[in-house]
Amino acid sequence: MQNDQLALAQTRGSVDPRVKRPLPAWVSTTALLLPTYGWLTLAVFLPLLTMLAFSFMSATPMGKTPVEFTLKQYRAFIDQPYLLRIGFNSLMMGFWTTLFCAILGFLAAVALVRATVGKTREALLVLILLPFWTNGLVRVFSWTMVLRENGFLDNLLHMVAPDAGSISILYTRYAVVLGLVHGYLPYMILTCYIALVTIDDAIIEAAASLGARWWTILYKILIPMAAPGLISGAVLIFIPVIGSFMEPRILGGRVGVTMGTVIEDQFTQAFNWPLGASLSFTLLAVVLAIFATFSGILRRGTAG
């Protein structure tokens, strides 16, 4: 150290003559990562493991009933056949929502790419995505204003046809799907847009100059190009939709019974946590299976 100081003094002088040795890289890397992953462990990973354990219990271990380990919670689908029907309804709700989002969103992405440029396109994208980042609950609530009896839609109809009867599609499955499509459409537009924006105009012009009709361009160029976006959009919509509970509750009323609302009930009304846990885990298994199937496409589709 003495030497260090002398030699460096001849030049400009060391920055700090007592230069400390740096910590080994792994120490600082660990220190940087530990808070985040510690937090995620506490808030996400341990809870999921605990829920897994709960799903094998015979009763909520908070009451007086003795608790045993059992598989009966997972037999609920056999013991209570109505759960199967609800599960099927949830899947159908996911299917229709995803399908409508795919059609509307794909066309919107095509329109964005083909019919707009520059600042207009940027502004439209921001406008389309803006609702997506606002409160979902509030957006669902806003549909009740439109769909309810004597609501916006009803009044609009009566302006056109004063004699028509009152329409109210609030508290129907249509209302639920409508609300869900409204909520998730921006996602599909975004993923399809990312996939399509790379298409060179020249490809389409070349195809058109070769005599391709618009449907040929659609089937041979646009849909294949948008496929990764369509698939990742579909996965990212289907998954939250089959787990949704507040949209069916608010827009579906009594007909809006889904896996999501059944699970919610187990935790807030029935206090049957093990059943809720096993249903949650069944749902999670479906989610993971979907992710596993499409993981390759998802990675590419969302990379942009």
Q: Per CB under 8 A, which of residues 54..113 are in contact with another protein?
A: 54, 61-62, 104, 107-108, 110-112
**Which of 228, 274 has the CB closer to another protein?**
274
**Which of 107, 227 has the CB closer to another protein?**
107
**Which of 148, 300 has the CB closer to another protein?**
148
Span 215-244, contacts to another protein by CB under 8 A = 239-240, 242-244
Closest contact distance (angstroms) between CB of 242 and another protein is 8
DSSP structure string for the chain: -HHHHHHHHHTT--S-TTPPPPPPHHHHHHHHHHHHHHHHIIIIIHHHHHHHHHTTBSS-TTSSS---B-SGGGGHHHH-HHHHHHHHHHHHHHHHHHHHHHHHHHHHHHHHHHH--HHHHHHHHHHHHGGGGS-HHHHHHHHHHHHSTTSHHHHHHHHH-TTSPP---TTSHHHHHHHHHHHHHHHHHHHHHHHHTT--HHHHHHHHHTT--HHHHIIIIIHHHHHHHHHHHHHHHHHHHHT--HHIIIIIGGG---HHHHHHHHHHTS--HHHHHHHHHHHHHHHHHHHHHHHHHHHHHTT-
Span 123-152, contacts to another protein by CB under 8 A = 124, 126-128, 130-131, 133-139, 141-146, 148, 150-152
Which position among 80, 155, 166, 216 is part of the footprint of another protein (CB under 8 A)?
Answer: 155
Size of the site for another protein (CB under 8 A): 97
**Which of 77, 267 has the CB closer to another protein?**
267
Span 190-209, contacts to another protein by CB under 8 A = none
Closest contact distance (angstroms) between CB of 44 and another protein is 5
Q: Give me the 264-293 binding string for another protein, x by CB under 8 A, dash otherwise.
A: x--xx----x--xx--x--xx--x---x--
Closest contact distance (angstroms) between CB of 280 and another protein is 5
Which position among 76, 89, 182, 278 is part of the footprint of another protein (CB under 8 A)?
Answer: 182
**What is the C-alpha to C-alpha distance for residues 131 and 121, in angstroms, rounded to an integer?**
17
Determine if 4 is a binding residue for another protein (CB under 8 A).
yes
**Which of 7, 206 has the CB closer to another protein?**
7
Closest contact distance (angstroms) between CB of 182 and another protein is 7
